Structure 1
Amino acid sequence: MSTSRAATALHKALENHARTQRKLTAASMIGDGSDVLSALTGRPVTHDERLRLAPWVVQQLQRQIAQIADPADRRIAQMVLAATREFEDLNVEQRKQYVCDRRAELSRELYKKHRIGVLAELAAGLELAYLAISAPTVFVGGSYTDPGWHAIAEGVGRALAGKPVRLVAALCDPGIRVCYGLEKARIAGNSYVLPRTKLFGRPDSARRAEQPYGAREYLTGTRESVRTHLMAGSDLVLLFGGGPGTEAEARLAEQAGKPVVPLGFTRGTAGEYWRSHHDPVDPDSYQELGDPDPQTAVDAAVRLITRHLLPMG
């Protein structure tokens, strides 16, 4: 089996599982197929973690396969991953022969044409399902009036694209641009399937998202109630510039015991917060949040977010 050059680590791991395993079971994932779990989490996993995660992975793959609308593609998925009893204990070539001998089910030409795409979709769906249950959420708060900050804010999003985090924000300039930067980086890296960012606004607001990146949702209620709702579902707050509203967001985070990462070099509330606080988790990186070189400060922010939310990453 060959994979496309653009295949993700998880796609490649599923290919390897298909080559080496003759059943899609938790046992195969825990044993020789454990590279699937490492590719999914982005790190080595302990035996206890494999015991917990493997049954969930198998269940998710079986569910996704059952939901494939095209019968031929569904059959390819069943055959490649040995996901049904008829394929158990058969190697890859035997499984392929079993299906292709029944040309009413699947031809060799169709198998060759669709196999990579089918596995790519399964890998992407599995990654999204895992992200939905495991990825921490970063709330992006702040504001600015100078459009010269747009590129820097998008750079923050690009820097976070490789980290397993989700972003939420109100329809403010930093929130919009940071979210756009993350999603555009995923598109450029051929890893965008479903959004990892969501922008929130109110129906009566004149502000709308400008570009079709990420998800959007409009909530009823006051600006304060929307802010409180977003903060409640977040694990960390990232501040970029800002005024009184951003001060309220920082206070809500502190009251809830959530870490705050202020990009001090962006001035405004973020700058004031940076000067008046410290972070014992990584004091050196915290100091660099105020570095006049934006890249140095952004790199420091990513390190702090990683230390707070992704200690294994």
Structure 2
Amino acid sequence: MPTPHTDKPLKDALPDFCRTNGRRLTADNLAAHGTEVLEALTGAPAPATKSARLPLAYWTVENLDELIQQLEDRQDRWIARVALAALSDQYGDYVGERVRVGVARQWFTRDQYWSNRRRVIDQIAADLALAYREHNWSSPYTPAEQPVPVDTTGHITVPRIFVAAYHQDSRYEHLGHVLGVAMAKRYTGGVHLVSMASRTALTIGYAMAGQSRMMNTYTPALYSIYRRTESPRPAPIWRNLGQTFCLDGSRNHIRRQIIGDCDIAIVLAGDNGTTYEAQLAYHLGKPVLPIAATGGSARKCYDPNAFSGLAGPATIAAYRDLAKFDTETLVPAAISVLDHLLDNLIASGPRRR
């Protein structure tokens, strides 16, 4: 690696960037204002334009998010999120304000934060630098292009998977993140995810898109988010990943339009609206994968005999495991059942869009 262009090491550049003007560590902010961070990471001058910096900025933010998730100590994870302004509800807060929130929420004491912050940030900076060195770069500022595969008759050959999910329990965010990452690793750009803008569904979609970016298989078309134009509620969209569309019409009209254009539905937890989406998928002949252990709508549409006589013993066993709330069991089971549904879909022939 070349000698860093900036005099400031990465372990100082990262927290200093987040300390300025209450700035959050997002790809957009990093591309616009993060010269010192990018140059400390690459050891070379950063391009002059924001658009040229964006590919590496996306990679940096996604890797930081993953590295924070991987910290073994829960308190260290909270310290990292506060120090690097990685909390969606603390946009614009200065570090002192973020620390006060962390203390109030009992993530740590003030002494614990300031005593451990440097150690935690140093570890993350070192791991990020290692990940950068080990990444197979053509150029850190060149985005990977992943065109949508189309066959000679004009059919889009990439299956579209609709995520129907809603819950306010934060424990489902971890499950959603692990599931999205697993889908990205398993299908490497071979499926497109679709959802409306509920936080639980977004967690899955953003995790899949983020992991794909880290693997250089990302394209915005991998994840499509749909909003209702007339919706009075603010969208919980907090990451610059995927592509977002606004559609006119009633909520149920939009649901019919979106699900009708998808091939498979995944249901996680859910309220009455999610139940409607699952029932609509069944009505339209779309296979449904219910993450039954999350309860709600997913549990309602879970049928342990669903694949009786239609699949092998391994798939039937995996479907039954969808009722076990153990991430290490549940996520591989979901992937196994999804493999079966995708195999059936591919065998049935291409779908026109």
CA distance in 2, matches of 1:291, 1:273: 15
Q: Which amino acid aligns with 1:270?
A: A
CA distance in 1, matches of 2:303, 2:169: 22
Q: Output the TM-score relative to the length of structure 2.
A: 0.51
- Once the two structures are aligned, what percentage of the paired residues are identical? 24
CA distance in 2, matches of 1:231, 1:129: 21
Q: Which residue of 2 aligns with 1:298?
A: 331
Which of 207, 210, 219 is 2:234 aligned to? 207
SS in 1 for 2:234: coil
CA distance in 2, matches of 1:189, 1:151: 20
Larger radius of gyration between Structure 1 and Structure 2: 1
Which of 165, 173, 185 is 2:199 aligned to? 173
Q: Which residue of 2 aligns with 1:289?
A: 322
Q: Which residue of 2 aligns with 1:134?
A: 157
Kept after mapping to 2: 8 A contact 1:128/1:194: no
Residue 276 of structure 1, CA deviation: 6.8
Q: Which amino acid aligns with 1:308?
A: L
CA distance in 1, matches of 2:278, 2:305: 11
RMSD: 2.4
* Residue 183, structure 1, aligned to residue 209, structure 2: yes
**Unaligned segments of structure 1, at least 5 residues:** 1-115
**Unaligned segments of structure 2, at least 5 residues:** 1-137, 348-353
Q: Which residue of 2 aligns with 1:225?
A: 253
Q: Which amino acid aligns with 2:277?
A: E
CA distance in 2, matches of 1:286, 1:207: 36
* Residue 124, structure 1, aligned to residue 145, structure 2: yes
Q: Which amino acid aligns with 2:172?
A: W
CA distance in 2, matches of 1:193, 1:226: 24
Distance 1:145 1:167, change over 3 A: same
Q: Which residue of 2 aligns with 1:154?
A: 177
Kept after mapping to 2: 8 A contact 1:170/1:199: yes
CA-to-aligned-CA distance 1:70-118 (integer Å, 9 cap, x gap): xxxxxxxxxxxxxxxxxxxxxxxxxxxxxxxxxxxxxxxxxxxxxx67x
Distance 1:307 1:278, change over 3 A: same
Q: Which amino acid aligns with 1:267?
A: G
* Residue 278, structure 1, aligned to residue 293, structure 2: no
CA distance in 1, matches of 2:293, 2:264: 19
Which runs of structure 2 are paired with 1:26-37 in the superposition (5 Å)? none
Residue 254 of structure 1, CA deviation: 1.4
Q: Output the TM-score relative to the length of structure 1.
A: 0.57
Residue 187 of structure 1, CA deviation: 1.6
Q: Which residue of 1 aligns with 2:166?
A: 143
CA distance in 2, matches of 1:201, 1:192: 22
Kept after mapping to 1: 8 A contact 2:148/2:158: no
Which runs of structure 2 are paired with 1:45-64 in the superposition (5 Å)? none
CA-to-aligned-CA distance 1:110-132 (integer Å, 9 cap, x gap): xxxxxx67xx98x834x534498
CA distance in 1, matches of 2:257, 2:230: 17
Residue 286 of structure 1, CA deviation: 0.8
CA distance in 2, matches of 1:215, 1:204: 19
In the alignment of these two chains, the number of paired residues is 194
Residue 183 of structure 1, CA deviation: 0.6
Q: Which amino acid aligns with 1:243?
A: D
CA distance in 2, matches of 1:247, 1:286: 19
Q: Which residue of 1 aligns with 2:73?
A: none
Distance 1:145 1:255, change over 3 A: same
CA distance in 1, matches of 2:287, 2:217: 28
Kept after mapping to 2: 8 A contact 1:199/1:216: yes
Which runs of structure 2 are paired with 1:107-118 in the superposition (5 Å)? none
CA distance in 2, matches of 1:171, 1:191: 23
CA distance in 2, matches of 1:248, 1:277: 22
